[in-house]
Structure 1
Amino acid sequence: MRRQFLIVISLCVALGGCAGRSVVQLVPEFAGIGENELVFVASTREYLDGEFTNQRLEGLDYLRFDVSVPPDRELGAVEPGRSGAPDPATEFLTTSADRLGNRSNFRSAIAAELSRRPANQREVMLFVHGYNTTFADGLYRTAQIRHDYDIPVVPVHYAWSSAGSVLGYAYDRDSVLFARDGLEQVITEITSIPGAELVLVAHSLGSSMTMEVLRQLSIGNRHDVLDRIAGVILLSPDVDINVFRTQARRIGDLPQPFFIFTSRRDRALQLSALITGQRNRLGTLGTADDVSEFDVTLIDVSQFRGGENDTMNHFTAASSPAMVELLSQVSLVNSSLENDPTQQLDLFQGTILTVSNATQIILAPQELLP
């Protein structure tokens, strides 16, 4: 028991050491220095004393932000704005913020933004953050994903009430349960916009919440909503494998495409497995055997390392410069698999394995390829 305790504490220290605590700094005078990203937000965090806290809000707060993505940074990196004198050349900052008031205004604002785009680019990316995340962390990460992948979507961030602390894992798991109904409401609002397509992107514990909400929609016979979801991407999902299998069976036909990013290097999920008494989490699967009955695609990124602020390799798909460069053409993945999933993808130069209904793609950096 003492040895297990020491392992947990040492991993917590390592995780805490790599996690910057960002704050939302409203600095309109810096607009135009970086590249602007418009991000809509639905939040279950209490707003107290001028900041979004980790306290749980009964209901939802709807907002929109202009986020400045700094010009001087490594691809995949999110250098958070901190209190004090900000540097717009290197730090993510907020240049405008507006409250939208209610869900009707939220839906109308997203619809207006979509209407400015071509009919074939009216897609919304809804990002659900993970464990140990502040409001600003999630806001800036949403902007970074949209910006670095250069995907033509309207980004929406679901900011649930994480404690934003390495020792807040139990609080975060309870907050996931607390925030399920809010996420269902946000998904329902977005899919009710005529012509809108929704892609769900969830990280870590956010993947657990996302699966729970898809299950809720199925139980509630909301197939009208499920049918409007154009894809699901689970990044480093902190989900018990047996729980995932039960959830997926209850959902039935999973939205397609359904991607699961995994890594055996993910030290944060190794810690989660230790805490929960499990050998593996969904995000550390090495093979597709345990999920072979489902129409899913596992993308194994174990041979990649996270970015400079991701020493735990817990957000490799978004933080690794090499990975971002590789996956910036992710829209080609599904069509390639549909054409012939048994063939090696020229896009990835990886290995493709098929196990029953599931497909696994094992990616390798270019320098490791023959």
Structure 2
Amino acid sequence: MTSLNSKRVIEAMFAIWHKLPELLNERWESFETDLFESLKTDAANKTNDQVAQEILEKFEKYKQVFELLEAKYQELFSQELFSPSENLESLETRVAPNTGVDLYGYEIIPVYFATPRHYDSSKKLDQQFTERRGDGSLNYGVAEVSIPLDRRMGSLNQPPFWRSEDIDKDMTIYSLTKLSQSEFSAQANKAFSDGQQREGMVFVHGYNVTFKAALLRTGQLAYDLAFKGLPLLFSWTSTGRFLGYPADEENVRWSQQLRHFESFLEFCLNELKLDTIHLVAHSMGNRILTETLTQIINVQTKSKLGQVVFAAPDVDADTFKNQAASFPSNAARYTLYTSKHDVAVRLSEFLHGSYPRAGKFEDENDVVIVNPVETLDASNRRNDFVGHSYYSDNTSIVSDIFQLFKYNSSPDDRLGLRSRTLQGGKMWIFSKL
């Protein structure tokens, strides 16, 4: 592999991971253990280039899997080089809300956020909220996320390494404003028109996520779900590094101890006077969400919970089951997306002494099925990207969440799902494409 792009090497590994057990047969277990042990060693100090090099060294021991990795790497690289160009002349002119600025080829989604990240005004706009903790208090603000009109549902449309950001092709941070708590409340309240249902959707990201990526993902979800309410982001202090897992765990614990998310949730409900609030968490962010759900005692808060989505939760399976018993009964629905092929959650499982995680299962005997949660098996959906974000990267799963939000329909009534009764209860499986 010439002109090595470390990010693409890591993405390529994730893309082919589900094929490796069959290729390696009896060598699979030792290969997986060897690779994970190598990545775990001194993880906090490794760069992405070092991670990519270690992956290559382990894969080179097996010709077949190395060739498969190389082919996927070249495919990902060529997609960057030869992405189809947009026909901008055919795109409709849009006007940014509340700005009066004519925008050609993209739309603006405002994302209101709270974060305990350290703020540094000297940095570039999309890097001002850093990977370091602040003083323990929450920072508030609003960002405008630009979304190209010509894009695939679920994609974040980021530029390849060889060119700069292009607002007509890429999702960007169009503007970002730090606000006081009172300014946040006033501006967010103005976003609702008279008579509009006051709905909010709070997204809690997972590990290995920068502040910019968290904003883009929140904007993407709101846009693809055609969400008419207020897009809200709670961004805890992830380091945004592939091997920053131990540091991210500590930052989640720190945020939980200070009850940041619970405070933000109560603030949104009380100050923004929301009628309904939907909660979507991904990966490690589910630890913050599940713990907060068990701590909600305010009856009014409970009654305002809408859809609660646990996407690929990096939560101990037994812990999740125990917590579920204390989830408020007033929520519209609780939905868990899990998969057999989630290598990121598998890596977490490996790091935690092989204790199963709620976001991954090996067979029907260890699927997390617990009331009041509805469990959906997303194994038949594409999962070929770092960050195991199949909940937002795959069109059919975004469509499923859309049906949840718009109609509150049960899994039995949603397209592309079939039910299966197991010993532990009922689950729903996405059909094969």
Which TM-score band (shorter chain)? 0.7 to 0.9
Q: Does 1:139 align with 2:215?
A: yes
1:196 match: 275
Task: Specify whether residues 206 and 288 from structure 1 end up closer, same or farther in structure 2 by C-alpha distance, changes over 3 A only.
Answer: farther
1:151-192: CA deviations, max 9, x gaps? 222100111100111111111111112223111111001121
Deviation at 1:246, TM superposition (A): 2.4
Q: Cα RMSD over matched residues?
A: 3.0
Q: Does 1:64 align with 2:142?
A: yes
Q: Which moved more, 1:91-100 or 1:229-238?
A: 91-100
Task: Specify whether residues 252 and 65 from structure 1 end up closer, same or farther in structure 2 by C-alpha distance, changes over 3 A only.
Answer: closer
1:105-158: CA deviations, max 9, x gaps? 3233222223x1644x32100000000000000000000011112122210011
Q: Which has the larger radius of gyration?
A: 2
Gaps of 5+ in 2: 1-29, 41-50, 56-72, 77-98
Amino acid at match of 1:268: A
2:191 match: 113
Q: Does 1:212 align with 2:305?
A: no
Greater RCO (Cα-Cα under 8 Å, separation 6 or more):
1
1:183 aligned residue (233, 255, 261): 261
Task: Tell me, in whole angstroms, the C-alpha distance in 1 between the residues paired with 2:244 and 2:102.
Answer: 34
1:328-352: CA deviations, max 9, x gaps? 3334664345xxx5xxx3x324211
Conservation of the 8 A alpha-carbon contact between 2:316 and 2:355 = no
SS in structure 2 opposite 1:328? Answer: helix
Conservation of the 8 A alpha-carbon contact between 1:266 and 1:313 = no
Gaps of 5+ in 1: 19-27
Task: Specify whether residues 359 and 223 from structure 1 end up closer, same or farther in structure 2 by C-alpha distance, changes over 3 A only.
Answer: farther
Structure 1 length-normalised TM? 0.81
Q: Does 1:302 align with 2:376?
A: no
1:76 aligned residue (147, 151, 154): 154
Task: Tell me, in whole angstroms, the C-alpha distance in 2 between the residues paired with 1:313 and 1:97.
Answer: 25
Task: Specify whether residues 234 and 312 from structure 1 end up closer, same or farther in structure 2 by C-alpha distance, changes over 3 A only.
Answer: same
Structure 2 length-normalised TM? 0.70
Amino acid at match of 1:186: F
1:39 match: 111
1:212-271: CA deviations, max 9, x gaps? 112233xxx333322322221011000001111222234463733000011111110111
Deviation at 1:211, TM superposition (A): 0.8
1:269 match: 345
Conservation of the 8 A alpha-carbon contact between 1:31 and 1:95 = no
SS in structure 2 opposite 1:74? Answer: coil
1:329 match: 403
Amino acid at match of 1:37: I
Task: Tell me, in whole angstroms, the C-alpha distance in 1 between the residues paired with 2:238 and 2:368.
Answer: 28
Instruction: Work out the percentage of aligned pairs sharing the same amino acid.
Output: 27
SS in structure 1 opposite 2:313? Answer: coil
Conservation of the 8 A alpha-carbon contact between 1:265 and 1:313 = no
Amino acid at match of 1:362: I
Conservation of the 8 A alpha-carbon contact between 1:288 and 1:360 = no
2:429 match: 362
Conservation of the 8 A alpha-carbon contact between 1:296 and 1:359 = no
Q: Does 1:7 align with 2:36?
A: yes
SS in structure 1 opposite 2:164? Answer: coil
Task: Tell me, in whole angstroms, the C-alpha distance in 1 between the residues paired with 2:406 and 2:427.
Answer: 16
Task: Tell me, in whole angstroms, the C-alpha distance in 1 between the residues paired with 2:146 and 2:159.
Answer: 10
Conservation of the 8 A alpha-carbon contact between 2:111 and 2:231 = yes
1:317 match: 391
